[in-house]
Amino acid sequence: MVAENEVCGWYPQAKVVRSPHFNARPAAEVSLLVIHNISLPAGQFGTPYVDALFCGTLDCHAHESFADLQGLEVSAHFLIRRDGELVQYVSCDERAWHAGVSSFQGRSHCNDFAVGIELEGTDNLPFTKEQYQQLVGLTDWLMGRYPQITASRIVGHSDIAPGRKTDPGPCFDWSGYLAAIAGAVPGATSKDE
């Protein structure tokens, strides 16, 4: 039997911090997984600022680099912190606001059909073992719940917004992650297929 929160698109193992920055998906199937990275301030981990940004409560005077974030309404479905803690902000059945101007295989507005996962990190630092372990488990759940998400439909933000975004960056271990997914999900293959 599927748990009540799973029916509503909430991952049972995630800490829930509800964001107001979402809306209903159009009549579109969930068929894309987008991986991002984030840290606030840049390069600092374990701060409360990502939660605050996604919840619309960020004090933009708390750090000089936050000035450009004033009034920004953004969210992701999930955040995986450096220690592997998993936070969910928006139900996967709803549209989180993470991709911005984006296109995948000629289809624009990726937020309409994508789930967004933020990894606490930067483009130029390796992610942690705990993050990859959590990401593989979450991906397995998402692929089971949304069968149109296949390995070839897992992308970085840079793939759907080239020239505008660079995350998750060159330190993200695509080959190790995709191999782990293939081991966890029967029939999963490489990103390039």
Model confidence at 7: pLDDT above 80: no
Question: Residue 163: what pLDDT?
Answer: 94
Between CA 64 and CA 127 the distance in angstroms is 26
Number of domains in the chain: 1
**Does position 31 have pLDDT exceeding 60, yes or no?**
yes
Residue 41 lies in a domain: yes
Would you say 42 and 106 are in contact if contact means Cβ atoms under 8 Å apart? Answer: no
| Residue 190 domain flag | no
Q: What is the pLDDT of residue 185?
A: 56
Q: Has residue 170 been placed in a domain?
A: yes
pLDDT at 164 over 80: yes
User: Domain for residue 131, yes or no?
Assistant: yes
pLDDT at residue 183, as a whole number:
83
Residue 37 lies in a domain: yes
Examine the pLDDT at 4 and tell me if it is beyond 50: no
pLDDT tens sequence across 102-149: 999 999 999 999 999 999 999 999 999 999 999 999 999 999 999 999
Mean pLDDT estimate for the chain:
92
Which burial class, exposed, middle or buried, applies to 77 when counting CB atoms under 10 A from its CB (0-12, 13-18, 19+)?
A: buried
Q: How many CA atoms lie within 13 A of 191 on its CB side?
A: 16
β-sheet bridge partners, residue 156: 35
| Residue 96 three-state SS | strand
* Residue-level length of the chain: 193
Q: What is the CATH number of the domain that holds 40?
A: 3.40.80.10
User: Residue 67: what are its φ and ψ, rounded to 5°?
Assistant: -55, -40
Look at residue 61 and give its three-state secondary structure: coil
Q: How much is the pLDDT for 142?
A: 97
On whether residue 191 sits in a domain, the answer given is no
> Residue 8: its pLDDT value, please?
83
Q: Of all helices (H) and strands (E), which one includes residue 119?
A: strand 114-120
Which pLDDT score is estimated for 191?
A: 45
Confirm whether 193 is domain-assigned. Answer: no
Burial (CB count within 10 angstroms: exposed 0-12, middle 13-18, buried 19+), residue 76: buried
Domain extent at residue 122: 4-184
**pLDDT (0 to 100) of residue 193:** 41
Instruction: Give me the half-sphere count of Cα atoms (radius 13 Å) on the Cβ side of residue 182.
Output: 11
**pLDDT (0 to 100) of residue 74:** 98
Catalytic residues: 118
Q: Quick one: pLDDT at residue 27?
A: 81
Q: Give the pLDDT of residue 5.
A: 47
Establish if 192 belongs to a structural domain.
no
CB crowding 131-167: b at 16 or more within 10 Å, else e: bbebbbbbbbbbbebbeebbbebbbbbbbbbeeebbb
CA distance 172 to 22: 27
